[in-house]
Amino acid sequence: MIMIAPGLPALPRRAHIREVGPRDGLQNEATILSTAQKLQLIDALGAAGLDQIEAGSFVRPQNVPQMADAAALFAQISRRPGVIYSAIAPNEVGARRAVAAGADMVQVFLSASESHNRSNVNMSVERSLAHVANMAAIMRGAGRPFDAVLSVAFGCPFEGDVPIPHVLDLCARLLDLGAEQLTLGDTTGMAHPVLVQRVVLAFQERFPRQPLRLHLHSARGAGLANILAAMQVGVSAFDSSVGGIGGCPFAPGAPGNLCTEDLVHMLHEMGVETGLDLPGLMATARILEGMLGHEVPSQTIKAGICKHLTDSQGSR
């Protein structure tokens, strides 16, 4: 643990980041990258040290055309030892396709609110849970782990506040179905530091031995503040997207994925280890800008690494 000052919560010594840009990032882009471009992006992310990369999703191509080549993509990934290449799937058909394509892990997802679940996957939460049960059986049969992602856990753009006990009840049902890890999503950036800590502390009280990952957004600028708040109560696993691209195409106000290089820069400045090559991540974000044909939201590739700036001044 990293002590900040007497009386302040200690921070975890190391944080683990799952890169979601190749899926959650690209699905919200108007430009559809070729399979070759996606492979280049995924390889560069692996070279920067990321050991868990969300590479694609097995959804209906007509709904998310950016992910239409998921099977071909997984077949061609140059796999690095120790790297988990995961996929998301909304139902049994998607889970079978993901397993057949060689996804190392399948992330199932549903929403903490009825309205968002119907907007996102066109079904009720109860029906999604029934699909999750069937998907869990498919993945157990294939010897693949699955991570359950609960969207809009910190607020729904259609319904507003989502009661914390309701979020925890859904977590309990997902764990009963065999989820090895839970991820709570701030899908539209409605969270703030106090709410993040309330949700995390309630989760830890109910599930004291269960690891937790957070998928936070910066749609309203609170993303990095929410990361710090979560770390102060013991969370050390997070999702982020290279360049800060992406969001949910099925909910209003959802852009603003947490930017990987901005997150890594902050963590490194605080003395928190990530095992990631920050200059390599920044170079990857610049490659991505060329592929997409527009600037990405990343602040670090614009402002530079603090240590590099001070080193430059000191050498004059």
In the chain, the domains with their CATH numbers are 16-314 (3.20.20.70)
Lowest mean pLDDT among 168-172, 187-191, 239-243: 187-191
pLDDT at 249: 59
CA dist 296 → 26, 141, 196, 240, 299 (Å): 12, 40, 26, 14, 9
Provide mean pLDDT across the span 70-80. Answer: 97
Find residue 52's DSSP bridge partners: 84
Rounded to 5 degrees, φ, ψ at 264 are -65, -40
String of DSSP letters for 121-134: HSS-HHHHHHHHHH
Cβ–Cβ < 8 Å for 65, 43 = no
Has this prediction a pTM greater than 0.85? yes
- Residue entry with tokens 């200690």: 10
Widest distance between CA atoms in the chain: 65
The per-residue pLDDT for 314 is 53
pLDDT score, position 147? 87
Q: For residue 86, what are its two tokens? A: 């995961």
What is the rounded distance in angstroms from the CA atom of residue 262 to the CA atom of residue 241? Answer: 10
Residue 59 in tokens: 């959804």
pLDDT-derived band at 145, boundaries 50, 70, 90: confident
pLDDT the model gives residue 86 = 96
89 residue type, one letter: A
Burial call 212-234: b when 16+ CB within 10 Å, e when fewer: bbbbbbbbeebbbebbebbbbbe
- Taking only the tens place, the pLDDT of each residue in 231-275 is 999 999 999 999 999 866 555 545 678 999 999 999 999 999 999
Backbone angles phi, psi at 134, to 5 degrees: -70, -40
Averaged pLDDT for residues 111-130: 91
pLDDT digits 0-9 by tens, 24-45:
999 989 999 999 999 999 999 9
Q: On the CB side of 262, how many CA atoms lie within 13 Å of its CA?
A: 26
CA 223 to CA 216: how far, in whole Å? 6
Query: In whole angstroms, what is the distance from residue 250 CA to residue 270 CA?
Result: 35
Output phi, psi for 4, to 5 deg: -90, -55
Active site residue 171: no
d(CA 285, CA 27): 16
Indicate the length of the chain as a whole number: 316
Average pLDDT over residues 9-28: 94
Q: Kindly list the distances between the CA atom of residue 154 and the CA atoms of 72, 113, 167, 203, 214, in Å, as whole numbers in the listed order.
A: 35, 10, 9, 13, 11
| pLDDT on residue 316 | 46
Please state the separation of Cα 256 from the chain's center in Å.
12
Task: Extract the tokens encoding 259.
Answer: 């930017």
Q: How far apart are CA 250 and CA 90, in angstroms?
A: 14
